[in-house]
Chains A and B, each alone.
Chain A
């Protein structure tokens, strides 16, 4: 029997969101059974944190969570240097979350000195050319547990993972969050939702939904296997994108009523032509409430 790949999860500047997200995977232990777990912040292993810090362990797969800040010490160890050491060791490096991938939320604190492991927002930095052959980028704030399990199981099964130009798995990031949203019909006919949490309308025009220009599969691989932000009637914040977080996340920036940001790779002229046509019609069914609640019951 071949030896199981050794899995090491290291944290830099992080809120622990990704480890918690993965910890909630409904099949967590079945997935982990394919690996020898060296260290994961939420599960005991036969190795201690000291073993990890003192480089007494090996790893095949390194998962990095959190933004990188050179000189940042944890437990008296320069964490960036430690990550670098295991990155050289590993056969695969997975940056789990937008912080580890692009800098994310923590980069806002000290934009010049805090970055992702291989990217400074959307710009590739040294680590990208150095590790590009074994790097897998999994942005998300946090990542969906199944995005990570997809990658891990592909590795465990020695399958090739097609990646895009930022080393994101195409399976997960070649579509936008808009793909599969239950509000697509409202988007097509340009019918807005007014407020939050309603069943009707689309959040693109007022509430700042970034689904149409955010790469991710939130509406294909549902959260908790049941829903997504856009389905329940809150906007997508674009948390998988290199420029996350932006400002005024519940608000669509418009220029004279025209949304400033267009759906991914859609020219404004094309969008406006279609919009003008769609807006010219009133589709009664889409203007009605989906459910008329009867106050008596």
Chain B
């Protein structure tokens, strides 16, 4: 990565944290600049507006999640085992980098007006959705998962995981996320298998 790319990524990471913890509207560009110890003017050199930054962040998180799922997709293991690995990595991310998942749930899904222009449909989350598609396609092709509408399967899988992380964020879950991995993986597999 060049120096400029590194800087760009550090801006994304810092604002990801601020947006997720303080809320999208409450966080200003000067807040972000301050955390990074850079001038507001310089930050605008990297991202022309807060909305543009917001969209770049969702692409960034989607890519990272997608790359992690890709690593699972290329393993030569059964769909059942893959489900467990995906659940593991999702919860691990939620525990270690909660801002990534929080951002998705609390900023991306809650401020649709910010994303309506430039992040239509799958546009900014395609890195991650593509890998989920590959996972499903492969599972059906191998005769392990039941052929069905993509979104009915996607909603079951990702809605479930997102819901658990959301409950965790609201301090409603009595146990740690990773303690649910076995049961949740089993439930998802049972719901999706042939």
* A, B in one complex: yes
CA distance A281 to B119 in the complex (A): 10
Taking the complex as formed, is A254 at the interface, i.e. its CB lies under 8 A from any CB of chain B?
yes
Q: Which listed segment binds A: B102-110, B122-130, B161-169, B178-186?
A: B122-130
Contact indicator B140/A273 (Cβ below 8 Å)? no
Given A255-B147, A269-B130: A279 and B141 interface contact (C-beta under 8 Å): no
Cβ distance B115 to chain A, nearest Cβ, rounded Å: 11
CA distance A269 to B131 in the complex (A): 8
Contact indicator A281/B129 (Cβ below 8 Å)? no
CA distance A74 to B96 in the complex (A): 77
Taking the complex as formed, is A268 at the interface, i.e. its CB lies under 8 A from any CB of chain B?
yes
Contact indicator B150/A276 (Cβ below 8 Å)? no
Indicate with 1 or 0, residue by residue over A227-264, a CB within 8 angstroms of chain B CB atoms: 00000000000000000000000000011111010000
Taking the complex as formed, is B153 at the interface, i.e. its CB lies under 8 A from any CB of chain A?
yes
Taking the complex as formed, is A297 at the interface, i.e. its CB lies under 8 A from any CB of chain B?
no
Contact indicator A257/B150 (Cβ below 8 Å)? yes
Given A256-B140, A256-B147, A260-B141: A280 and B130 interface contact (C-beta under 8 Å): no
Taking the complex as formed, is A1 at the interface, i.e. its CB lies under 8 A from any CB of chain B?
no
CB contacts (< 8 Å) of B123 on chain A: these are 276-277, 280
Contact indicator A256/B121 (Cβ below 8 Å)? no
- Among B129, B136, B137, B150, the most chain A Cβ lie within 10 Å of the Cβ of B137
Size bin of chain B's contact surface: 20 to 34
Size bin of chain A's contact surface: 10 to 19
Taking the complex as formed, is B120 at the interface, i.e. its CB lies under 8 A from any CB of chain A?
yes
Contact indicator A277/B126 (Cβ below 8 Å)? yes
Contact indicator B153/A256 (Cβ below 8 Å)? yes
CA distance A269 to B150 in the complex (A): 16
Chain A residue with the shortest CB-CB distance to B125: A276
CA distance A132 to B127 in the complex (A): 46
Taking the complex as formed, is A272 at the interface, i.e. its CB lies under 8 A from any CB of chain B?
yes
Q: A255-B139, A272-B130 are in contact. List 12 more A-B contacts (CB 8 A).
A: A254-B147, A255-B136, A255-B147, A256-B145, A256-B150, A256-B153, A257-B149, A269-B134, A273-B130, A276-B122, A280-B122, A281-B120
Chain B positions near chain A (C-beta within 8 angstroms): 70, 120-123, 126-127, 129-131, 133-134, 136-141, 145, 147-150, 153
Closest 8 CB pairs of A and B: A280-B121, A255-B140, A257-B150, A276-B122, A276-B126, A256-B136, A255-B137, A280-B123
Could you list some 18 contacts between A and B, CB below 8 A? A254-B147, A255-B138, A255-B141, A256-B140, A256-B145, A256-B150, A257-B150, A268-B134, A268-B137, A269-B70, A273-B130, A276-B126, A276-B129, A277-B122, A280-B120, A280-B121, A280-B122, A281-B120
